[in-house]
């Protein structure tokens, strides 16, 4: 182990350990069966993006001969070798879980993947009709001759490759892309339960009908992953919208960096695919089961099998909110913290809808990074503009894999008269803030929503995030200055309370850590408690090491990547790192610094990564209201009491499951939902005890 690797864990290997923790949940028999299938699908989807972005980037570095090392002391070729080894084992584990654990259990429950040799006569007839009437009408076989270029295949779409022999014993290959067909899972008639067959298996049965007079020697499914790590060079792009469309086009032709196929493929066909796709053997993943396990998301939501899913936890109304009052009235009376998805995201949407309809609202300013496909947030902004309000929307066109959707939304918003900003040149705007300017009898008042998650009411039901709603005048002034800075070429002014990356957020975090270190050195109480998605930045990690060496207790709840090594004697023995993987994706960023008893509590859009601190526009927002502080700190502390879904990071980079033993079992997500439900029940009970008389109407 090098000196660098003693201090830092490689980022890519740390991410793969995160995906392993998700895979562990697919293997966890305490989880409902279809939820285990969903976790398996998530690991496959995660790996897809990992290959497209991280492996794609490393692959380019290797091709360019880059020899520098990362923070852990590994060169790009060394990282690629370690990734290949880890991924091959992970894929092997995925298929062991699917084929030997999940599918036998699913079969017992009546959910059966049929193989072509197992079809009943009725199933065969139905399948024949589907293939001949639908599939053969949609799919287009493409003959590939040695003197022709291999067809340009869609990234991560399914295909089958067919080897054919004619009467003269001449052989040729045919590629059949599935394109965007939704026929992958074909439902079959059955007397009970749910039976289905995969399109690739069905094609293998009927594809000889496409080649009369010839012999089909082999039909094998395959799937490719292309490098998608293309970013716009903004210094050479005169039109950002046009430039982003060019990036999307470039991804369609990215280098093939992974080939997935069946383990039963012949050497001839594998050689043909590798030569045509220009890919080497180490990037081939030959598997014993269905390709594209991410497609099993749809199976996890199968109707009629509620007993194989989690108990329903519908989002609840935040207990202190009066459903009869407007959000402006509520926020004017006090600051609000909403803990999603336990507490409903509806107030955030309602905040915008009320702002759109309120005649006293003058302006709405909003950042948008990732939104839902049928966005109520977008609809509210359009409604506001149509009612004559001044609406400004910063739509980040560079949000990876959401570029096309954001380009579409930007165009629609412009059509109704909204001032649309396509982000900030050279940076991605990842901050989550909405500012509403309202005219009131006392003058102009600014209402704000700050969040840790995207303005996406769909993911707000699945992601653990925090909303902070306030009309604090200082935060209002800061929010106005923030929008002025990102929308009008103006020099950012000094903010009163918030910090903004890349111009001050890093420095503020380091200052807060160093204050705790100095206090401990002077014999005062000191503690750092943090929840976020990823910890990668080496400068901040070094500051945390110094805090640990001074005796500061540092508790980190890091869902995903963590490059810090905890528990190393003389370096980080006072640092604990936990990770929670459960039914909701942990996504909130909450920071608590003891500060000598004068607690400093923040929410943020930023993880502690170089990209967030140096290459994105991010926000760090203080929460000063006492009740809001208490709620956030209590929430934060509960994450370190979980002994059901928590895993602790070991000094060697692996994770160990925390088990309750003789203690009471604590599952933090279950606790947070139960707390929200109890708070609401108590509030409703208290309200029923108040007698409210009917009064005569005033004349």
Euclidean distance between CA atoms 230 and 228, whole angstroms: 6
Grouping H, G, I as helix, E, B as strand and the rest as coil, residue 28 is: coil
Of the residues 307, 390, 430, 694, only one is catalytic, namely 430
Identify the sign of the CA torsion 257, 86, 21, 451.
negative
Q: What spatial distance separates the first Cα and last Cα of the chain, rounded to whole Å?
A: 85
User: Is 307 assigned a catalytic role?
Assistant: no
> What is the DSSP secondary-structure string of 290-307?
-S-GGGGHHHHT-TT-GG
Element (H, E) at 50: helix 33-50
Half-sphere exposure of 452 (CA within 13 A, CB side): 28
CB 658 within 8 A of CB 667: no
> What is the DSSP secondary-structure string of 5-22?
HHHB--HHHHHHHHHHHH
Q: Which of 449, 275, 424, 476 is nearest to 345 (CA)?
A: 449
For residue 445, what are the contacts with CB-CB under 8 A and spacing of at least 6? 332, 437, 438, 471, 476
310: its two tokens? 């989690």
Element (H, E) at 414: helix 403-415
Euclidean distance between CA atoms 245 and 357, whole angstroms: 35
| Per-residue CA distances from 248 to 157, 227, 228, 253 (Å) | 16, 12, 9, 9
Q: Is 659 exposed, middle or buried (0-12, 13-18, 19+ CB in 10 A)?
A: exposed
Euclidean distance between CA atoms 255 and 383, whole angstroms: 43
CA angle at 276 for the pair 275 and 282, rounded to the nearest 5°: 50
CB 498 within 8 A of CB 621: yes
Q: Where are the alpha helices (DSSP H) in 98-145?
A: 103-108, 121-130, 136-138
CB 562 within 8 A of CB 9: yes
Euclidean distance between CA atoms 57 and 70, whole angstroms: 13
For residue 331, what are the contacts with CB-CB under 8 A and spacing of at least 6? 447, 469, 470, 471
419: its two tokens? 């001032």
603: its two tokens? 């929410």
167: its two tokens? 């009467």
CB 321 within 8 A of CB 354: no
Q: Which of 410, 414, 418 is nearest to 384 (CA)?
A: 418
| Per-residue CA distances from 253 to 154, 155, 280, 451 (Å) | 9, 8, 18, 36
Q: Supply the residues annotated as catalytic.
A: 430
């Amino acid at each position: 182990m090098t000196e660098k690797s003693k201090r830092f864990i490689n980022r890519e290997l740390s991410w793969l350990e995160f995906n392993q923790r998700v895979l562990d949940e697919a293997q966890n028999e305490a989880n409902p069966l279809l939820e285990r299938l969903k976790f398996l699908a998530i690991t496959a989807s995660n790996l897809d993006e990992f290959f497209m972005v991280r492996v794609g980037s490393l692959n380019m570095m290797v091709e360019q001969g880059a020899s520098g090392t990362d923070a852990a002391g590994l060169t790009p070729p060394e990282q690629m070798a370690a990734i290949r080894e880890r991924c091959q084992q992970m894929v092997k584990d995925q298929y062991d879980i699917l084929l030997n654990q999940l599918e036998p259990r699913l079969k017992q429950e009546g959910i059966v993947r049929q193989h072509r040799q197992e079809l009943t006569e009725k199933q065969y007839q139905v399948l024949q009709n589907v293939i001949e009437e639908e599939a053969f009408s949609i799919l287009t076989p493409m003959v590939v001759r040695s003197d022709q270029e291999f067809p340009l295949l869609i990234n991560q779409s399914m295909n089958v490759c067919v080897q054919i022999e004619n009467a003269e014993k001449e052989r040729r290959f045919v590629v059949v892309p599935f394109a965007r067909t939704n026929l992958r899972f074909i439902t079959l008639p059955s007397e009970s339960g749910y039976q289905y067959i995969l399109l690739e298996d069905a094609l293998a049965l009927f594809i000889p009908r496409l080649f009369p007079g010839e012999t089909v020697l082999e039909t094998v499914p395959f799937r490719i992953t292309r490098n998608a790590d293309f970013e716009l060079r903004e210094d050479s792009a005169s039109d950002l919208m046009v430039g982003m469309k060019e990036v999307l086009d470039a991804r369609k032709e990215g280098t093939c960096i992974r080939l997935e196929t069946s383990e039963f493929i012949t050497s001839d066909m594998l050689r043909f695919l590798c030569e045509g796709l220009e890919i080497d053997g180490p990037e081939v993943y030959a598997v014993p089961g269905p390709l594209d396990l991410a497609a099993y998301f749809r199976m996890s939501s199968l109707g009629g099998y509620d007993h194989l899913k989690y108990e329903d936890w519908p989002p609840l109304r935040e207990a202190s909110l009066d459903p009869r009052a407007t959000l402006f009235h509520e926020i004017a009376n006090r600051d609000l913290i909403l803990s999603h998805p336990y507490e409903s995201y509806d107030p955030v949407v309602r905040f915008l809808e009320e702002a759109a309809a309120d005649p006293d609202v003058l302006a709405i300013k909003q950042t948008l990074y990732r939104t839902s496909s049928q966005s109520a947030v977008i609809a509210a902004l359009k409604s506001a503009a149509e009612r004559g309000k001044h609406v400004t929307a910063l739509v980040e066109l560079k949000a990876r894999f959401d570029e096309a959707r954001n380009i579409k939304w930007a165009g629609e918003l412009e059509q109704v008269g909204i001032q649309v900003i396509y982000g900030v040149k050279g940076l991605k705007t990842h901050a989550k803030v909405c500012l509403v300017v309202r005219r009131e009898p006392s003058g102009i008042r600014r209402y704000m929503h700050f969040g840790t998650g995207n303005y996406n009411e769909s993911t707000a039901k699945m992601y653990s995030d925090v909303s902070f709603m306030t009309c604090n005048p200082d935060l209002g002034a800061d929010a106005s200055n923030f929008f002025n800075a990102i929308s009008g070429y103006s020099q950012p002014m000094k903010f009163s309370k918030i910090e903004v990356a890349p111009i001050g957020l890093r420095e503020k975090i380091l200052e807060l850590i160093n204050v705790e270190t100095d206090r401990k050195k002077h014999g005062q109480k000191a503690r750092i408690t943090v929840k976020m998605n990823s910890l990668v930045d080496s400068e901040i990690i070094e500051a945390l090491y110094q805090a640990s060496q001074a005796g500061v207790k540092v508790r980190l709840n890091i869902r995903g990547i963590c490059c810090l090594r905890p528990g190393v004697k003389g370096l980080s023995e006072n640092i604990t790192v936990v990770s929670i993987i459960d039914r909701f994706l942990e996504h909130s960023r909450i920071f608590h610094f003891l500060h000598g008893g004068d607690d400093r509590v923040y929410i943020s859009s930023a993880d502690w990564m170089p990209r967030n601190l140096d290459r994105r526009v991010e926000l760090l927002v203080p929460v000063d209201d006492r009740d809001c502080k208490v709620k956030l700190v209590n929430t934060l502390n509960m994450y370190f009491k979980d002994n059901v879904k928590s895993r602790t990071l070991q000094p060697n980079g692996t994770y160990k499951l925390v088990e309750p033993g003789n203690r009471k079992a604590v599952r933090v997500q279950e606790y947070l939902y139960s707390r929200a439900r109890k708070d609401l029940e108590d509030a409703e009970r208290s309200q029923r005890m108040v007698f409210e008389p009917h009064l005569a109407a005033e004349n």
